Amino acid sequence: ATPGETLDRETNRWHGVNALSLAAGALGVLLGRPGLLLVAVVGVAYGGLALAARPPDVHVELSRELDRHTAAPGDHVRVTVTVRNAGDSLLADLRLVDGVPDAIDVVEGSPRTATSLRPGKAASFAYTVRATRGDHEFDPVTVLARGFSGAIERETAVHARGDAVLTCTPRLDVGDPL
């Protein structure tokens, strides 16, 4: 998703439950087994819950901090991302992927996290990158959120406040005079 765009997707998490429920119901009728019918009713109820699910409203504030803005090639730079639930409802299943520039490698930790956040609460994660020559602008953070059923997920890209560029230039030593 691009910043400001929201994509909603079905996760298909419940499709197997629906199929098994219908099969159990058919077997219950054919074999005259009330227990199988009860299993089918419970499965259909969960399947109905999944069909009625809506994607969660995602209102988050993100910030990204680099422990330094300039580095030499090969230097390690620590990146910390903080997410705060700025909405009114619980984000039961929240997943974040930081937009690490393609030209730099993550050498420690992970630019991904999964959490759940009550309204007003925050969580942070950190990782370390190895600097390479050039100016490297971080992309927006990809945010995936699912409700309690997990039937539908909402994806959006959110710009993080704070540091967005890592500048890497080689150190030049002054040579001996001629």
Decide: 81 and 141 in contact? Cβ < 8 Å: yes
Q: Is the pLDDT of residue 176 over 60?
A: no
CA 79 from centre of chain: 17
> Please, which residues bridge with residue 95 across strands?
114, 144
Residue type at 116?
S
Over residues 120-173, the pLDDT tens digits come to 999 999 999 999 999 999 999 999 998 766 667 888 999 999 878 999 988 766
What's the average model confidence in pLDDT over 31-54?
A: 74
Per-residue confidence band for 15, with pLDDT thresholds at 50, 70 and 90: low
Question: What's the confidence (pLDDT) of residue 106?
Answer: 97
Phi, psi for 20 (deg, rounded to 5): -65, -35
Phi, psi for 50 (deg, rounded to 5): -65, -40
Per-residue confidence band for 29, with pLDDT thresholds at 50, 70 and 90: confident
What Å distances lie between residue 20 and 53, 83, 116, 174, CA to CA?
Answer: 20, 39, 30, 74
CA 112 from centre of chain: 7
Question: What's the confidence (pLDDT) of residue 52?
Answer: 62
In whole angstroms, give the CA distance from residue 29 to residue 38.
Answer: 11
